[in-house]
With several copies, the nearest count.
Chain A
């Protein structure tokens, strides 16, 4: 069947589709609130019908009928395989090595995919305080790979985070190994302007694609660290089928689709 690309779609929809496409069939996905939920539900309704959605609050492999507003939302109970709690999911699923892909976001993301969800400025006298790690630090440490979702602004993409809440590649290819992390690391950053991936050798982020309507140069200008855009091409747009499922099945209540992210 020929792919029919959608003509009208919002930035949120484009990002949700990009997130969904990072999930492969049969994978076990650690999903957080917002875009990761949209992406996971979309994936489950398109190319990855057998992907298993895990929420840190306890629900494993639920069949969502209504989009949750929280990882602890009662909607995550629907038709789940098991529903325990944080300790069981974090330890026997995540730390035991069963999560194929986890989603992350945060206030700052740096060149090595490290994330700050804690504070701007000194930790003990912060200029701005954020909610803190939540499960983000755990997903970053213990998923087999992670996908980061972010609003693309210069101040949000510094060379180095003020505080590393969720380690990415830390300081390069050997960073995680030196820290003692058993596996994992970020694979992509899906932003409001494009998709960043990590150089195999240096583990620094480079621009893999820019979204329709944006140029690679614009992405570079809006990035606080030096961004390699030499390999960038245009992001593959959402298909009509993806947008239809997203709107009609995933988020018909418009819980996230019409709200700005963060």
Chain B
């Protein structure tokens, strides 16, 4: 259990190289419009990661870009879209319709329970959700896939509760190889503080074998330990810390910056078409060497100023959102 301080703080490039082998089962933090670890996603694409097995609940552009860039072999999910910005992830839709990836559908609660069960260290969790739905009946993974490591041997199991007689679905737990989250503040040792909703980050991190945290700020040890009850992940669970301000762009990071509607609409326009998606990747991912350069590309200081969160509200109330 070696936990040397200095070793944890590293660059994006090092973190991807060290912790994301091809074929890894990866879970990415954030939810819908907030805190997806986008800078990390870009770096995975730049390093041409292959055959990733993604597990999550409601990802959006993070997964969509990875799928579109050809990094993904297999997904277990509840939803892939950007809600009001794009009602379906365009690259996900195409990859599924073309049979380019394997997929398995659960509900949001179903996925989050499976991850929570992984965090708790139990092999499955019972639930009433999804009863009566085709998620119980239709299976995406083949029998061959079901034999692979980190893939549950069955999608789920129906059972009569031995205490009450009621019907329950047993969902297999998930313990990803790596979870990557984007937090507001981390100390140099790995203690994580998230402002606002935690979404599933807590469970995703605690379920995983390894945890990478990208963040807006890295602070000294003492700063987060005055209110330990406000921290969500104990330092020893974190394997890598990467400071990437605005690292969730185009998604929001509560109390730091808002989402970028302009970029999100642009993404959904471009990603629908193979050719324009390739141009988008070339321009925003392959064609830039650092996250700083990317931020220049998306509009630099002027754009970032517009996205900057109001101190009290935690978002940008005057942001033009249509």
> Contact at B228–A82, with CB atoms within 8 Å?
yes
> Contact at A84–B198, with CB atoms within 8 Å?
yes
Stretch at the interface among B28-36, B270-278, B293-301: B28-36
Provide the bound-state CA to CA distance between A65 and B313, in Å: 10
Tell me, yes or no, whether A91 is within 8 Å of chain B by CB: yes
> Contact at A138–B134, with CB atoms within 8 Å?
no
5 tightest A-B contacts by CB?
A180-B167, A58-B197, A179-B132, A134-B79, A167-B132
Tell me, yes or no, whether A75 is within 8 Å of chain B by CB: yes
Tell me, yes or no, whether B18 is within 8 Å of chain A by CB: no
Interface residue ranges of B117-175 to A (CB < 8 Å): 119-122, 127-135, 138, 140, 166-168
Query: C-beta contact mask, A73-85 vs B, less than 8 Å → 1, else 0?
Result: 1111111111111
Tell me, yes or no, whether B69 is within 8 Å of chain A by CB: no
B: residues with CB less than 8 A from A are 1-3, 30-34, 57-58, 77-85, 87-89, 92-93, 96-97, 99, 105-110, 112-113, 115-116, 119-122, 127-135, 138, 140, 166-168, 189, 191, 196-203, 206, 222, 224-226, 228-229, 231-237, 252, 254-255, 258-259, 261, 309, 313-315, 317, 321-322
> Contact at A254–B196, with CB atoms within 8 Å?
no
Nearest CB in chain A: distance from B48 CB, A: 25
Interface residue ranges of A87-111 to B (CB < 8 Å): 87, 90-98, 100
Q: Can you list 12 residue pairs at the A/B interface with Cβ under 8 Å? A: A28-B236, A81-B224, A81-B225, A84-B197, A90-B129, A96-B206, A123-B105, A124-B138, A126-B97, A133-B135, A134-B58, A142-B128
Instruction: Count chain B CB atoms within 10 A of each CB in A57, A60, A164, A262 and give the residue with the most.
Output: A57
Nearest CB in chain B: distance from A60 CB, A: 4
Contact residue range for chain A?
35 or more
Beta-carbon nearest neighbor of B3 in chain A = A26
Query: C-beta contact mask, A157-180 vs B, less than 8 Å → 1, else 0?
Result: 000000111110010000110011
The listed residue (B58, B119, B131, B322) touching A181 by CB distance below 8 A is: B131
Interface residue SS majority, chain B: loop
> Contact at A91–B131, with CB atoms within 8 Å?
no
> Contact at A133–B199, with CB atoms within 8 Å?
no
Provide the bound-state CA to CA distance between A56 and B235, in Å: 17
> Contact at A180–B108, with CB atoms within 8 Å?
no
The listed residue (B89, B119, B322) touching A131 by CB distance below 8 A is: B89
> Contact at A74–B254, with CB atoms within 8 Å?
yes
Nearest CB in chain B: distance from A25 CB, A: 9
The listed residue (B229, B255, B261) touching A69 by CB distance below 8 A is: B261
Report B-chain residues with C-beta under 8 Å of the C-beta of A87: 112-113, 115-116, 200, 202-203
Tell me, yes or no, whether A61 is within 8 Å of chain B by CB: yes
Beta-carbon nearest neighbor of B193 in chain A = A82
Report B-chain residues with C-beta under 8 Å of the C-beta of A224: none
Nearest CB in chain B: distance from A44 CB, A: 14
Given A124-B140, A135-B108, A181-B128, verify A95-B133 contact (CB < 8 Å): no
> Contact at A58–B199, with CB atoms within 8 Å?
yes
Nearest CB in chain B: distance from A209 CB, A: 27
Nearest CB in chain B: distance from A78 CB, A: 6
Nearest CB in chain A: distance from B175 CB, A: 8
Provide the bound-state CA to CA distance between A194 and B53, in Å: 44
> Contact at B200–A164, with CB atoms within 8 Å?
no
Beta-carbon nearest neighbor of A54 in chain B = B234
Report A-chain residues with C-beta under 8 Å of the C-beta of B313: 65, 74-75, 78
Report A-chain residues with C-beta under 8 Å of the C-beta of B92: 129, 131
Beta-carbon nearest neighbor of A163 in chain B = B134
Nearest CB in chain A: distance from B199 CB, A: 5
> Contact at B134–A164, with CB atoms within 8 Å?
yes
Provide the bound-state CA to CA distance between A71 and B79, in Å: 13
Interface residue ranges of A135-156 to B (CB < 8 Å): 135-138, 140-142
Apart from A72-B31, A83-B229, A167-B131, list 9 A-B contacts with CB within 8 A.
A52-B234, A57-B31, A70-B32, A77-B315, A83-B228, A133-B107, A135-B58, A165-B134, A180-B132
Provide the bound-state CA to CA distance between A132 and B122, in Å: 24
Beta-carbon nearest neighbor of B258 in chain A = A74
Provide the bound-state CA to CA distance between A90 and B303, in Å: 36
Interface residue ranges of A199-235 to B (CB < 8 Å): none
> Contact at B198–A70, with CB atoms within 8 Å?
no
> Contact at A73–B225, with CB atoms within 8 Å?
no
Provide the bound-state CA to CA distance between A259 and B309, in Å: 26
Beta-carbon nearest neighbor of A90 in chain B = B109
> Contact at A72–B235, with CB atoms within 8 Å?
no
> Contact at B191–A141, with CB atoms within 8 Å?
no
Provide the bound-state CA to CA distance between A254 and B322, in Å: 8
Report B-chain residues with C-beta under 8 Å of the C-beta of A84: 197-198, 229
Report A-chain residues with C-beta under 8 Å of the C-beta of B322: 253-255, 259
The listed residue (A34, A63, A96, A133) touching B84 by CB distance below 8 A is: A34
Given A85-B201, A87-B113, verify A141-B32 contact (CB < 8 Å): no
Provide the bound-state CA to CA distance between A179 and B131, in Å: 6
The listed residue (A72, A91, A129) touching B197 by CB distance below 8 A is: A72
Beta-carbon nearest neighbor of B118 in chain A = A96
